Amino acid sequence: LEGEIKIDDRDISTMGLNELSKILIIIQEPVLFSESLRYNLDPFNQYDDLKLWEVLQQVELSDVTLDHDIFSGGHNFSVGQKQFICLARAILRNNRLLILDETTANIDSHKDALIQDIIRSSFKECTVITIAHHLNTIIDSNRIIVMENDSILEFDCPYELLHDKPNGGKDGQSDGAKSFRTGEEGLREE
């Protein structure tokens, strides 16, 4: 792929570090610091403990103390717990742009659903770019880009992409798309 990435009509290659730090990326294998949970949530010590606890409750991690030590790479936490810590950090930072790269690929369906609920409720005023292979992860998006071999195949709202496609995508190849169909009432899972 070639091109440029712009935010508010500005090429990100011309932005300073302060502006770029307003973009938050949560990846499939999240990275945590070998520090306390408090430090991982709030490395610049901007929030009081009450606010940190509110966010931990929101991501269902209130059973972990703020002073809990996180081992190198977060190995004493599950992948799902690490995702929730990064999500809690994102909620605190209240960034304008959140990029989720296969965030729910390695977690169970309960945690996936919880992450989707948190994204819907906590990031209403935020631009969220989700990179995913599973339709249920992106079905609530305003627009979807379907790619294959570094090429854009389709770009539209979910309803239009699924409309008149009984297999849920180009030749039924979209991962997870087969379980969704369209009807007069909109999308429904079967």
Note the pTM of the prediction, 2 decimals: 0.76
Q: What is the pLDDT of residue 82?
A: 92
Write down the domain spans for the chain. Answer: 14-141, 144-189
Backbone angles phi, psi at 46, to 5 degrees: -95, -15
Nearest to 129 by CA among 118, 141, 120: 141
Of the ranges 43-52, 126-135, 139-148, the best mean pLDDT one = 43-52
pLDDT band of residue 171 (cuts 50, 70, 90) is: very low
pLDDT in tens, 72-98: 888 899 888 999 999 999 999 988 889
Specify the CATH architecture of the domain 14-141: 3-Layer(aba) Sandwich (3.40)
